[in-house]
Structure 1
Amino acid sequence: MKGNAKYYELINTAYLLNDIYFDEVNEKTGKFINSSMLLDDELANIHESRGYKYYVYDSLYPRESDKIYKKGRVYVFKIRSIDKDLITKIRKTITKTKSEYFQVVSTELKAYDQFFINELYTVTPVVLTVDNRFWVKRDSMELLERRIVENLIKKYKDYYEEEIEVEESFIQGIEIKNYKTIGTKYKDIRLMGNKLTILVKEDEISQKLAFMALGTGLLEKNSSNGMGFCIAK
């Protein structure tokens, strides 16, 4: 295993150069992060490769009640990763990155050791693709839970290069928090997702998987559109 489990959080303070409507924020933030990765050869290779990227980001803060993030104002967004080298390199390139929308004026990098997690809450929607369409509330909750677990197990095995023996789901309970499915712009489509509250079991394996969710995000489109960004309670 690559040392004790940690995740790293890069807090970016950004000056907005143009207005952004709320459902375009994550797409434009993702493009900005991608542009920063192209300034470093190793990061560029990661960006262009297939497979897990091991990072996730959230939306801009503070939120705007009229759903328009304003030109000339300062906002904060976070990037999380379990890969210290990746997040450290992004920190070096992101302040040098030119964009139509963002200018990062300062960064702060924090590290978090694994801690006990009672509950996960998704700040950005989780996205699950099932048979070339997006999972929606009327679909099977058992399928949603199973795919969440399988996704985290794959990320864990792939990154740490070790097996993890999972006999049952790490999820004790799961609740969908939104009334309607949430749409977010991504390229020429709209990603349809849901915000979740997940109760986490207390055993060691369950805690490892929940911590992996904090560092890499839940389910799909974590690095490309910031989906599945979680906070712990």
Structure 2
Amino acid sequence: MLVFELAFKMQFFEKTAYEKSSEMIAQVIDRALCKTEKYAVFHEKQEFKFYVFDRPYQPEPDKSYLPGKLYTIRIRTVKPELAEYFLNQLPGSRTDKLHILNGEIRVVVQKMLERIYSLTPVIIRAEGEYWRWNHSVDAFERQLKENLLKKYYSLTGEKLDEDFELYQMLEFSNTKPVKVPYKGITLLGDKISLTATQDPRSQQLLYMALGTGAGERCSRGSGFMNYRYL
């Protein structure tokens, strides 16, 4: 398994708030996917998409993006054919809010991870609701691990002995839920940091999370994780 990272230059056509950018990026990616029948079907299927994207870098001091200025958006995936598709089809894609320019690709090297941490909010729901409302941190941890295991099984077809620690330490950097606009509603997420163990299963899942995202709604820009090697 390899994690591919694509970096694209992009421009907004109007001043845009930082927190609204993910939904706009998702729309232009959706348009690119719908350029071919194969990926239009892929887009419509209710299944793991195995890609995730960051918010454009670098926002202005007031947490906005200015029209006409160049920013960089990163997309990661563990699917080599999807990475190639994005590299070929995303440049020139646009909506009435933004357009994507040139891009480049690299592989995120798989080395021993010290930790991974979220740049966009991780969305975890327990029994269909935001976990903090009626559930414990244990429920959050259980859902986070189960979600990554399901992605791994779906991607590889391999089963793992699940009796292992996914990480040594979980830290939250937010004191209240982080709002994520999504299709006219607001989802709630969290900014987290996971200190890795050296167990090969932990390392493999956390590396995979760099390309698939952690938690839910990753193809909508949630759960984009950065990393630090040992």
TM superposition score normalised by structure 1? 0.93
Which runs of 5 or more residues in structure 1 are unaligned? none
In 2, Cα distance between equivalents of 1:204 and 1:166: 12
Q: Secondary structure at the match of 1:118?
A: strand
Q: Which residue among 223, 226, 230 is the counterpart of 1:231?
A: 226
Cα deviation for residue 157 of structure 1 reads: 0.8
**How has the CA–CA distance of structure 1 residues 96 and 63 changed in structure 2, closer, same or farther, with 3 Å as cutoff?**
closer
CA deviation map 1:167-197 (0-9, x unaligned): 1231211010012211011112111111001
Q: Give the 5 Å matches for 1:1-233.
A: 5-136=1-132, 139-223=135-219, 225-233=220-228
Q: Is residue 126–residue 194 contact of structure 1 (8 Å, CA) maintained in 2?
A: yes
CA deviation map 1:140-180 (0-9, x unaligned): 11111111111111111111111122212312110100122
Moved more, 120-129 or 64-73: 64-73
Q: Is residue 82–residue 216 contact of structure 1 (8 Å, CA) maintained in 2?
A: yes
In 1, Cα distance between equivalents of 2:16 and 2:59: 12
**How has the CA–CA distance of structure 1 residues 111 and 137 changed in structure 2, closer, same or farther, with 3 Å as cutoff?**
farther
Q: Secondary structure at the match of 2:132?
A: coil
In 1, Cα distance between equivalents of 2:94 and 2:177: 34
For these two proteins, the number of residue pairs brought into alignment is 228
Cα deviation for residue 227 of structure 1 reads: 0.5
CA deviation map 1:19-38 (0-9, x unaligned): 21122110111111111111
Q: Secondary structure at the match of 1:108?
A: strand
RMSD: 1.4
Q: Secondary structure at the match of 1:32?
A: helix
**How has the CA–CA distance of structure 1 residues 211 and 163 changed in structure 2, closer, same or farther, with 3 Å as cutoff?**
same
**How has the CA–CA distance of structure 1 residues 131 and 137 changed in structure 2, closer, same or farther, with 3 Å as cutoff?**
closer
